[in-house]
Amino acid sequence: MGSRIYPNGNKHVGEWKDGKQHGQGTYIFGPKSKWAGDKYVGEYRNGKRNGQGTYIYPSGAKYVGENRNGKQHGQGTYTASDGEKYVGEWRNGKFHGQGTATFASGAKHVGEWGDGKRNGQGTFTHADGRVKEGVWKDNKFQYVKKDPSPRRSQKRLAERRRRKKEERLSRLERELRRKEARLRQREKEFEKKKRQSWTARKTSPVVQDDWRSSGSSFYLKGSTHIMTNFHVIEKARVIQVSFPKGRRYRGRVVAKDERNDLAVVKLLKMRPRRSGFGFRFGARVRVGERTHALGYPLGASLSRYPSMVSGEINATKGMGDNLSQFRTNANINKGNSGGPIVNDKGELVGVALAGLVQRGVEGVRFGIKATAASLVLEQVPAMEKFDVQVRARKRKRSPSKIFRELSPYVVMIEVR
């Protein structure tokens, strides 16, 4: 993790490998650059934009989607400053493949594209309702041609292939969620047995007010927001956030990153506090580094006060060599999801994610790097002035001091 400012004013903040941008990063083009004012936030590989990312132009236009070798390539969405929009496939920076374009006039084209122009079968609907369907070439209508039955079959086949491609992009994330679902089922069986005792019935939030413990989170210093995992609040109709000292707030999701399983929740009717968790540029994770995970293992059925477990970083990449994650042997359980992971200086280095639970596997737990988690804050307008620490803390702190200082800002999330 690091930053570099170039002679023309360009600036890159993010992850590096062998002197090149590699991993999550933010690139801002300086005033002397050919693309002055442009900004890119997303994934890099070997010094070029590769993977999911967001490119913002000075005019207000925006591209959100896949990139390859520094150009838009794959599935993506482009929104122009005048409201025009294209959603579909790209190749080498141009519309190419199946896509839908909506124009500022209200007109709409759905069909095939090639080299940035309407090429192939397509339907153009004018703003006044007139429809022109047929074959197009270089944006010009050629002739009417309705798809015969075999053609429709080919189109359905192409659509199925497109869906499979999208599924491959999130295969690793779904696999983790399936494993965590099995863990949740086992924990439900455990909680069911616990509720049979008088003590569990007395302390269970489900019996008291129909709230269900969902996960952990942490308060962002100087704001009215918390950060957690996306799966913790994904299916929630109502969100309740409880601080260890008893204060409770209703929450509203204001930003999410489903790919990295992150979400930011705004606490309603809350005043900002001076203390809490902050992000620091350059807060890297290193193999062998001592870390501490804070949260609410097993939820309110165990305790309404946070606890802390310690361990070491044993890999700087996650499942399938995911650069946004790291592995640790800290005993992260269900209920810890969304909680903070800090180093021995008390600096935030990650967000607790999940563990690999299967027979014969021990000590394999995952966390999302703080460098990747900080990117989701750019979706929150109120967080533009969020305080980001630049200098690293010099002194290490004892585990008891870290817990004493940070546990008041580790919060429990309950949903219904």
Longest dimension (CA), the chain: 78
Residue 396 pLDDT: 87
More confident position, 400 or 186: 400
Q: Render pLDDT for 381-408 as a digit per residue (tens, 0 to 9).
A: 766 556 556 556 778 899 999 999 999 9
Q: Render pLDDT for 228-244 as a digit per residue (tens, 0 to 9).
A: 999 999 889 999 999 99
More confident position, 147 or 6: 6
Residue with tokens 């994650």: 325
Phi, psi of 205 (to 5 degrees): -65, -25
Is the per-residue pLDDT at 303 higher than 50? yes
CA distance 66 to 90: 9
HSE-CB for 1 with a 13 A CA cutoff: 20
Residue 56 pLDDT: 95
pLDDT band at 360 (very low <50, low <70, confident <90, very high): low
More confident position, 99 or 174: 99
Residue 205 pLDDT: 42
CA distance 42 to 202: 47
Q: Render pLDDT for 9-60 as a digit per residue (tens, 0 to 9).
A: 999 999 999 989 999 999 999 998 988 999 999 999 999 999 999 999 999 9
Picking from 187, 244, 188, 366, the residue whose alpha carbon sits closest to that of residue 293 is: 366
Q: How open is the CA angle 78-82-87, to the nearest 5 degrees?
A: 25
Residue 201 pLDDT: 46
Q: Render pLDDT for 276-288 as a digit per residue (tens, 0 to 9).
A: 998 876 678 899 9
| Structural domains in the chain plus CATH codes | 2-164 (3.90.930), 171-415 (2.40.10.120)
16-20, 135-139, 187-191, 291-295: segment of lowest average pLDDT: 187-191
